């Protein structure tokens, strides 16, 4: 795919997207929701023609899907997306303002990262070289918005990779009154707590040292359990999403209301933490995880327990208390938690916008919603898309830091093979439903247009 600006060598991946954006062509101006809707309507018109001609049904592609096997953090994300929606009465496109969350306003004074205002110097030496962002700055850990590439915060940007034009400082720097990152809802996965002043009890700053039994200041990692760090890197990795982890130990990745759903066990869990979560973890987590579990043992949301996947209904059942009831070692693959892929820019965008689109359209079918989202995605301005690309990049970076050995390949084959004999451009199998979607879309888009 052609790239607008030659790529710039940035790993942001935003470059890629600009392509599609350019492909869309004409729409370079700031896109309003109405414009988007109009475009959708236009598309529908042409689509109706295109779709009708290809209504042959060939079920060629039966794609297996992951079912909600990892609801823990997804729901957390949704929670915030929902919260965002409530706060935002206006449309996302109408207003660039992304209301934030109060708890993000309050720096976590107990967090060493903040207390000293900088990250441990060793951070860069610990992080995998390929993940290191030479200039990945402490500012991230100081509640700076990762996407706010304002001139004054040059350190925020990866110095080694010139900022692409579309990702440059042009990114709207909306310093919201409440210092909330616009994209907070995208990656603030906690679905559990939302009250600024009441940190979860299990995240209480006062933690007993497992060795001494003396209350101590919790390690930053313990306060930010959503990001299990790799052994040896705990507390030293420059968290790419540090800005999300500041408050109250509110992790980006949530702890499900019912507790830790997946059996990924605590490794070097301290006494107080382990007492809270131990019962939910399986025994095989005694040894340091190859992919860097956080010391708290709280798994990254991307981790999906195979057990959960296979037995969705029994997430909190006693069977989960594997620690006390030793289970026969499962197969190798079963042992390993299912670490999901980090979300890409579009996925992040979808997560944020889905609820809004659904509300607008009174449509719930994801397939139809996704079609709309896909079009809206293309109608986004560069700056808007850049936000998501940047966010996605950080997600990937974080993911790779958390799971150094993880590869997307690991998840291959976990789903049933889908028959994809047909070529990308020929999608006969979907036309049947597509027809339906496009019958619905005009109404959907009309509603959207009214907004």
Partner DNA sequence: GTCCCTTTGAAGTAG
Partner DNA sequence: CTACTTCAAAGGGAC
Query: In this structure, how many other beta carbons lie within 10 angstroms of the beta carbon of residue 410?
Result: 16
Distances (CA, A) of 146 to 214, 244, 374: 36, 10, 25
Q: Which is nearer to DNA, 124 or 378 (CB)?
A: 378
Question: Cα(250)–Cα(234) distance, rounded to whole angstroms?
Answer: 17
Out of 22, 216, 341, 451, the only residue in the binding site for DNA (CB under 7 A) is 341
Is the distance from CB of 300 to CB of 224 less than 8 angstroms?
A: no
Q: What is the largest CA-CA distance in the chain?
A: 73
Q: Which is nearer to DNA, 279 or 426 (CB)?
A: 426
- Binding pattern for the stretch 296-315 against DNA, x by CB under 7 A and - elsewhere: ----------------xx--
Out of 338, 356, 382, 441, the only residue in the binding site for DNA (CB under 7 A) is 338
- Binding pattern for the stretch 43-72 against DNA, x by CB under 7 A and - elsewhere: ----------------x-xxxxxxxx-x--
Q: Applying CB under 7 A, does 175 fall inside the site for DNA?
A: no
Piece of the chain touching DNA by CB under 7 A; list 137-145, 204-212, 277-285, 347-355: 347-355
Residue closest to 297 by CA, chosen among 317, 313, 275, 314: 275
Angle ∠(304,323,236) on CA atoms, nearest 5: 60
Question: What is the nearest approach in angstroms of DNA to the Cβ of residue 357?
Answer: 11
Q: Which is nearer to DNA, 119 or 238 (CB)?
A: 238
- 416 burial via Cβ count (<10 Å: 0-12, 13-18, 19+): exposed
Beta-carbon contacts of residue 387 (< 8 Å; ≥ 6 apart): 147, 171, 182, 183
Q: Applying CB under 7 A, does 344 fall inside the site for DNA?
A: yes
Residues 200-219 within binding reach of DNA (CB under 7 A): none
Piece of the chain touching DNA by CB under 7 A; list 2-10, 27-35, 108-116, 385-393: 385-393
Q: Applying CB under 7 A, does 26 fall inside the site for DNA?
A: no
Is the distance from CB of 181 to CB of 146 less than 8 angstroms?
A: yes
- Binding pattern for the stretch 351-380 against DNA, x by CB under 7 A and - elsewhere: x--x---------xxxx--xx-xx--xx--
Q: Applying CB under 7 A, does 390 fall inside the site for DNA?
A: no
Q: Which is nearer to DNA, 354 or 387 (CB)?
A: 354
- 404 burial via Cβ count (<10 Å: 0-12, 13-18, 19+): middle
Q: Applying CB under 7 A, does 176 fall inside the site for DNA?
A: no
Question: Cα(220)–Cα(246) distance, rounded to whole angstroms?
Answer: 9
Question: What is the nearest approach in angstroms of DNA to the Cβ of residue 5?
Answer: 15
Q: Applying CB under 7 A, does 347 fall inside the site for DNA?
A: yes
Question: What is the nearest approach in angstroms of DNA to the Cβ of residue 326?
Answer: 26
Question: What is the nearest approach in angstroms of DNA to the Cβ of residue 208?
Answer: 34
Q: Applying CB under 7 A, does 431 fall inside the site for DNA?
A: yes
**Three-state DSSP string of 146-170:** CCCCCHHHHHHCCCCCCCCHHHCCC
Q: Applying CB under 7 A, does 20 fall inside the site for DNA?
A: yes
Question: What is the nearest approach in angstroms of DNA to the Cβ of residue 197?
Answer: 27
Out of 389, 401, 403, 445, the only residue in the binding site for DNA (CB under 7 A) is 389
Q: Which is nearer to DNA, 209 or 311 (CB)?
A: 311
Q: Which is nearer to DNA, 177 or 367 (CB)?
A: 367
Out of 330, 335, 414, 451, the only residue in the binding site for DNA (CB under 7 A) is 414
Question: What is the nearest approach in angstroms of DNA to the Cβ of residue 97?
Answer: 23
- 159 burial via Cβ count (<10 Å: 0-12, 13-18, 19+): middle
Question: CA 390, 394, 397, 399: dihedral to nearest 10 degrees?
Answer: -130
DSSP states along 336-349 = S-EEPPPP-HHHHH
Q: Which is nearer to DNA, 75 or 124 (CB)?
A: 75
Number of chain residues interacting with DNA (CB under 7 A): 71
Is the distance from CB of 31 to CB of 381 less than 8 angstroms?
A: yes
Beta-carbon contacts of residue 242 (< 8 Å; ≥ 6 apart): 113, 140, 141, 142
Q: Applying CB under 7 A, does 420 fall inside the site for DNA?
A: yes
Q: Which is nearer to DNA, 207 or 345 (CB)?
A: 345
């Amino acid at each position: 795919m052609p790239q607008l600006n030659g790529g710039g060598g940035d790993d942001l991946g935003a470059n890629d997207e600009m392509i599609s954006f350019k492909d869309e062509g004409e729409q370079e101006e700031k896109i309003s929701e109405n414009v988007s809707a109009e475009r959708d309507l236009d598309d529908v018109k042409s689509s109706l023609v295109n779709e009708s001609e290809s209504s042959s049904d060939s079920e060629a592609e039966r794609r297996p899907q992951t079912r909600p096997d990892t609801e823990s953090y997804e729901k957390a994300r949704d929670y915030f997306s929902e919260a965002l929606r409530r706060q935002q009465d206006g449309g996302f496109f109408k207003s660039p303002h992304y209301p934030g969350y109060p708890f993000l306003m309050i720096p976590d004074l107990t967090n060493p990262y903040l207390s000293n205002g900088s990250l441990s110097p060793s951070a860069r030496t610990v992080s995998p070289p390929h993940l290191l962002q030479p200039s990945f700055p402490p500012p991230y850990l100081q509640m700076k918005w990762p996407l706010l590439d304002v001139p004054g915060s040059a350190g925020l940007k990866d110095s080694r990779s010139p900022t692409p034009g579309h990702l440059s400082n042009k990114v709207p720097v909306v310093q919201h009154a409440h210092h909330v990152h616009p994209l907070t809802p995208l990656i603030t996965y906690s679905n559990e707590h939302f009250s600024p002043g009441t940190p979860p009890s299990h995240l209480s700053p006062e933690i007993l040292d497992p060795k001494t039994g003396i209350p101590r200041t919790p390690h930053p990692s313990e306060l930010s359990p959503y990001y299990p760090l790799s052994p040896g890197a705990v507390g030293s990795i420059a968290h790419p999403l540090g800005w999300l982890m500041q408050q109250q130990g509110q992790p980006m990745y949530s702890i499900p209301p019912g507790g830790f759903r997946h059996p990924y066990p605590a490794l070097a869990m301290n006494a107080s933490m382990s007492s809270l979560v131990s019962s939910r973890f399986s025994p095989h987590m005694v040894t340091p995880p190859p992919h860097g579990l956080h010391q708290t043992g709280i798994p990254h949301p991307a981790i999906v327990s195979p057990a959960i996947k296979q037995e969705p209904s029994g997430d909190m059942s006693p069977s989960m208390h594997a620690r006390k009831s030793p289970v026969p070692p499962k197969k190798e693959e079963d042992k390993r938690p299912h670490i999901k892929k980090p979300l890409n820019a579009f996925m992040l965008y979808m997560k944020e916008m889905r609820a809004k689109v659904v509300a607008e359209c009174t449509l719930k079918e994801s397939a139809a919603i996704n079609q709309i989202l896909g079009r809206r995605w293309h109608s986004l301005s560069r700056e808007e898309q850049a936000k998501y690309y940047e966010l996605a990049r950080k997600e990937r970076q974080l993911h790779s830091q958390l799971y150094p050995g993880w590869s997307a390949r690991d998840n291959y084959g976990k789903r049933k093979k889908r028959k994809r004999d047909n070529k990308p451009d020929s999608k006969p199998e979907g036309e049947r439903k597509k027809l339906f979607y496009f019958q619905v879309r005009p109404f959907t888009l009309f509603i959207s247009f009214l907004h």
